[in-house]
Amino acid sequence: MRLLALALVTLIALLQYPLWLGKGSWLRVWEIDQQLRVQRETNQKLQSRNAALDAEVRDLKQGLEAVEERARSELGMVKRDEIFFQILEPRRGGPGSLPQNAR
């Protein structure tokens, strides 16, 4: 009887091994689930970025206002017969600035 009980316990242990430690174990499923969650978050961020870029491309293709705005902000361009004033803040401690006690 004792031998039969030992054989059954051994058989149960052998059947449980793949469930807990094998290729398709619970631990492996949990790890893959974590990786899947991280990948979905990454995909969501990338989809949002792609949607914003797509909207910007459509805007640039359809209207001249977006092209003009981009030329002004990124390239510093001005329209014909337009006057551009640039106001610079005085630099502190740089060349041409007054010493602290002279102010």
Q: Per-residue pLDDT tens for 48-99? A: 999 999 998 888 888 788 778 877 778 777 878 888 777 888 887 666 555 5
SS3 of 42-70: the string is HHHHHHHHHHHHHHHHHHHHHCHHHHHHH
**Is 0.85 topped by the overall pTM?**
no
CB 51 within 8 A of CB 57: no
User: How many Å apart are CA 32 and CA 26, to the nearest integer?
Assistant: 10
Q: What confidence score (pLDDT) does residue 33 get?
A: 94
- Read off the amino acid at residue 23: K
Give residue limits of the domains in the chain. 26-74
pLDDT of residue 25: 81
